[in-house]
């Protein structure tokens, strides 16, 4: 079994108030005139989920630019090891938004994702209620000391056992990407019609994400 199998499968598949749709001739669907103060909002339930820190790897394999919003803390490096074990979290998150951009140079602008398109500006995966702990096999042997034991997928660009959370369409507006006051605003529409929108304002802290190929058999 490969240590990074779940993460690589995801990567391989990728190569306040109601949101308003634009009614003018713009090629973009949503307005971005909201500030959720480093949270994302599930509009169907009114739940606000905190993602108060943001990290970026600007030279990540396959996709070049990776942005990770979360309510935890990461050190200089985050590494996925055997059996889904994550090494590098200073504080494990309970919620996260992961965004993969294929662009070599990420610039200010609006980026789009459409489920039916073969090529998109980004892919995205949103989780909450993440719980962490030791993972043991059927014989009781501990195979990972810091693994995700459970989580709820809120929205995902990737194939999911819960088809209702698959992303139908999404947009992200990026501003001041190379400054200390970077801003990201995003709106996601799932195939079920649910809307998730979020915003982040602050520093995009640099880190290195490693998902090396390790044979854990």
What integer is the mean pLDDT of 77-88?
91
What share of the chain has pLDDT > 70, as a percent? 86
- For 169-190, write each residue's pLDDT tens digit: 999 999 999 888 999 999 999 9
Structure token digits, residue 19: 């949101």
Query: Which band of pLDDT confidence, cut at 50, 70 and 90, is reported for residue 12?
Result: very low
Closest CA to 11 of 122, 92, 169: 122
d(CA 125, CA 12) in angstroms, rounded, equals 14
Is residue 217 assigned to a domain? no
Structural domain boundaries, residue 143: 5-210
Is residue 101 assigned to a domain? yes
Is residue 65 assigned to a domain? yes
Is residue 79 assigned to a domain? yes
Containing 10, the helix (H) or strand (E) segment is helix 5-14
Count CA atoms within 13 Å of residue 12 on its CB side: 6
Closest CA to 43 of 20, 72, 71: 20
What integer is the mean pLDDT of 127-149?
89
- Is 1's pLDDT higher than 80? no
Long-range contacts of 23-30 (CB under 8 A, 24+ apart): 28/110, 28/112, 28/171, 29/169, 29/171, 29/187, 30/171, 30/187, 30/197
What pTM does this model have?
Answer: 0.86
Backbone angles phi, psi at 204, to 5 degrees: -95, 100
Is residue 216 assigned to a domain? no
DSSP structure class, residue 63? T
Q: Count how many domains the chain has.
A: 1
What share of the chain has pLDDT > 90, as a percent? 67
Q: pLDDT at position 13, please?
A: 39
Is residue 44 assigned to a domain? yes
Q: pLDDT at position 56, please?
A: 95
């Amino acid at each position: 079994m490969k240590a990074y199998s779940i993460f690589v499968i995801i990567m391989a598949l990728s190569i306040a108030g109601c949101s308003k749709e634009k009614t003018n001739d713009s090629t973009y669907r949503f307005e971005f005139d909201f500030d959720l103060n480093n949270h994302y909002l599930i509009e169907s339930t009114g739940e606000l989920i905190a993602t108060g820190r943001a990290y970026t790897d600007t030279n990540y394999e396959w996709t070049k630019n990776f942005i990770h919003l979360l309510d935890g803390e990461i050190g200089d490096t985050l590494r996925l090891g055997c059996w889904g074990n994550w090494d590098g979290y200073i504080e494990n998150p309970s919620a996260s938004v992961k965004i993969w951009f294929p662009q070599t140079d990420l610039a200010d602008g609006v980026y789009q994702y459409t489920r039916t398109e073969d090529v998109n500006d980004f892919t995205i995966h949103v989780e909450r209620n993440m719980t962490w702990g030791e993972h043991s096999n059927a014989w009781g042997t501990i195979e990972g000391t810091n693994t995700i034991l459970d989580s709820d997928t809120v929205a995902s660009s990737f194939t999911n056992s819960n088809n209702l959370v698959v992303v139908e369409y999404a947009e992200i507006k990026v501003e001041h990407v190379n400054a200390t006051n970077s801003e990201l605003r995003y709106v996601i529409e799932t195939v079920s019609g649910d809307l998730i929108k979020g915003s982040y304002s602050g520093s995009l802290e640099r880190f290195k994400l490693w998902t090396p190929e390790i044979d854990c058999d």
